[in-house]
């Protein structure tokens, strides 16, 4: 696709991409798939957390999000504090210069408007505000596509998130709760739409049916310490989560069930190591997934999935595998409800291994029925995401005629 002067449209993608979070990278992959299919002439590059990974994995030029490389490490020494402070001013200039070089910037999914996990206002919320403010100042359209949002208690973080959303040229959300959260924070959401999470647009893996012994139970774990407002009791929350999850895995092993441990971020590795050490059984193994595609293959081969991370749930549900959520935020509950499994949620903050085992057994009893439900819901999700991408084309690339987008808008 080309602009009015005949040059390729310049599209930037922005976020904590290539930083070890598989969900974030899966959202990027879905948007890149859309751009390559619908706008193959567009020149695409990224401003992101892990530029080396993004450039190598996705074949697009990438620039580091922050000037100061220690942005997400706690600064205790005077030099580090000074460098971090200086970085805020440098990043304002760098971000504006990067945005100016683009016709469109897309923030692909992710929970960029929420603080359901520990978050400092001058980290990513500030970076997102710089992006959206720069877009408004230089005339570049910034789109928050299929993003997650949630009520935010911290005033500086809430202000930065609210202004970021207000300054964006386009917004869509991955669930109704996200849209309502932004409306409650004072953002006019009358024209904003809700669509399924972008990761549902990724290809579904094909797994051959096996007539052998029962498949594994995938247990997706997380380095969970509560949310932004739980810092005072973060260690207590983590101990309770790890203890309950470990007891659940041990109970499955005692029944002779093979268990496959999944993660969704590099920081989850210590949780896997702790469970492997505590259970100490050859029936418990850890997957080495490096993408959402890898996670989907793992979940597709499983009899059932019990998972904490949001995109572990997305992968399992998209693969059509009966799934139970260890839910740590409203977004997980909303996802399970969308896919017809609202009854199978368990609080991650208070994992009760006995109650969890009861829910798991109830899930397995309805396995065949739930697989049919997921197949039906996935067809609906696919149609909805076609409309999402058609709407994005209409909003961000209005200068060109897009017959395929018109066809998508007219599809049922």
Of all residues in the chain, the percent with pLDDT exceeding 90 is: 81
- Lowest-confidence segment of 16-20, 120-124, 174-178, 312-316 by average pLDDT: 120-124
The structure tokens listed for 33 are: 């798939």
122: confidence class by pLDDT, cuts 50, 70, 90? confident
Pairing assessment for the beta strands 62-64 and 141-147 based on DSSP bridges: unpaired
Burial state string for 238-257 with b = 16 or more CB within 10 A and e = fewer than 16: bebbbebbbbbbbbbbeeeb
Check whether 362 has a pLDDT greater than 80.
Answer: yes
Check whether 79 has a pLDDT greater than 80.
Answer: no
pTM: 0.89
Domains of the chain, start order: 10-202+381-410 (3.40.50.2000), 217-365 (3.40.50.2000)
pLDDT in tens, 220-276: 999 999 987 788 899 999 999 999 999 999 999 999 999 999 999 999 999 999 999
pLDDT, mean over the chain? 91
Check whether 408 has a pLDDT greater than 60.
Answer: no
The pLDDT assigned to 146 comes to 97
Pairing assessment for the beta strands 193-194 and 345-347 based on DSSP bridges: unpaired
Q: List strands edge to edge, sheet with 10-15.
A: 62-64, 43-48, 10-15, 104-108, 141-147, 170-173, 193-194
205: confidence class by pLDDT, cuts 50, 70, 90? confident
Residue 366, judged by CB atoms within 10 A of its CB (0-12, 13-18, 19+), counts as middle
pLDDT in tens, 28-65: 999 999 999 999 999 999 999 999 999 999 999 999 99
Query: Between these two residues, 365 and 411, which has the higher pLDDT value?
Result: 365
Question: 13 — alpha (psi -120 to 50), left (phi > 0) or beta?
Answer: beta
The pLDDT assigned to 72 comes to 59
Of all residues in the chain, the percent with pLDDT exceeding 70 is: 89
The pLDDT assigned to 119 comes to 74
**Under 8 Å between Cβ of 51 and 141:** no
The contacts of residue 65 (CB under 8 Å, 6+ apart) are 14, 16, 47, 48, 49, 71, 127
The contacts of residue 96 (CB under 8 Å, 6+ apart) are 130, 134, 137, 138
The pLDDT assigned to 81 comes to 63
Report the distance separating Cα 27 and Cα 202, nearest Å. Answer: 9
The structure tokens listed for 160 are: 């930065």
* 48 φ, ψ (degrees, to nearest 5): -150, 175
pLDDT in tens, 332-347: 999 999 999 999 999 9
208: confidence class by pLDDT, cuts 50, 70, 90? low
Check whether 368 has a pLDDT greater than 80.
Answer: yes
């Amino acid at each position: 696709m080309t602009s009015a002067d005949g040059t390729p449209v310049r599209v930037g993608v922005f976020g904590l991409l290539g930083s070890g979070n598989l969900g974030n990278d899966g959202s990027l992959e879905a948007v890149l798939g859309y751009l390559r299919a619908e706008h193959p002439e567009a020149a695409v590059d990224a401003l992101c957390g892990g530029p080396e990974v993004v450039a190598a994995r996705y074949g697009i030029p990438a620039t580091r999000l922050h000037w100061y490389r220690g942005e997400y490490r706690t600064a205790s020494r005077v030099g580090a504090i000074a460098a971090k402070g200086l970085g805020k001013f440098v990043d304002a200039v760098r971000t504006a210069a990067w945005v100016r070089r683009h016709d469109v910037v897309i923030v692909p999914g992710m929970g960029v408007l929420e603080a359901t996990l520990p978050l400092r206002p001058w980290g990513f919320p500030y970076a997102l505000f710089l992006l959206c403010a720069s877009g408004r100042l230089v005339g570049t359209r910034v789109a928050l596509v299929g993003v997650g949002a949630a009520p935010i208690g911290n005033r500086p973080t809430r202000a930065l998130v609210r202004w970021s959303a207000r300054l964006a040229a386009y917004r869509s959300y991955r669930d109704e709760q996200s849209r309502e959260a932004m409306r409650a924070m004072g953002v006019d959401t009358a024209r904003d739409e809700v669509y399924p999470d972008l990761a549902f647009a990724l290809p579904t893996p094909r797994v051959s049916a096996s007539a052998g012994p029962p498949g594994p139970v995938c247990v997706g774990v997380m380095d969970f310490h509560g949310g932004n407002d739980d810092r005072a009791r973060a260690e207590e929350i983590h101990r309770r989560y790890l203890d309950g999850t470990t007891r659940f895995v041990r109970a499955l092993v005692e029944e002779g069930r093979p268990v496959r441990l999944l993660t969704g971020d590099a920081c989850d590795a210590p949780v896997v190591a702790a469970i492997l050490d505590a259970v100490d059984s050859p029936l418990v193994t850890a997957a080495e997934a490096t993408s959402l595609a890898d996670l989907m293959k793992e979940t597709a081969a499983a009899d059932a999935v019990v998972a904490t991370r949001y995109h572990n749930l997305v992968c399992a549900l998209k693969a059509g595998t009966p799934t139970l959520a260890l839910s740590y935020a409203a977004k997980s509950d909303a996802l399970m409800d969308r896919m017809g499994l609202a009854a199978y949620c368990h609080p991650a903050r208070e994992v009760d291994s006995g109650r969890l085992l009861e829910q798991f057994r109830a899930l397995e009893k309805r396995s065949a029925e739930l697989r049919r439900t997921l197949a039906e819901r996935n067809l609906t999700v696919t149609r909805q995401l076609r409309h999402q991408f058609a709407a994005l084309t209409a909003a961000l690339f209005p200068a060109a005629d897009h017959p395929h987008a018109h066809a998508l808008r007219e599809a049922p």
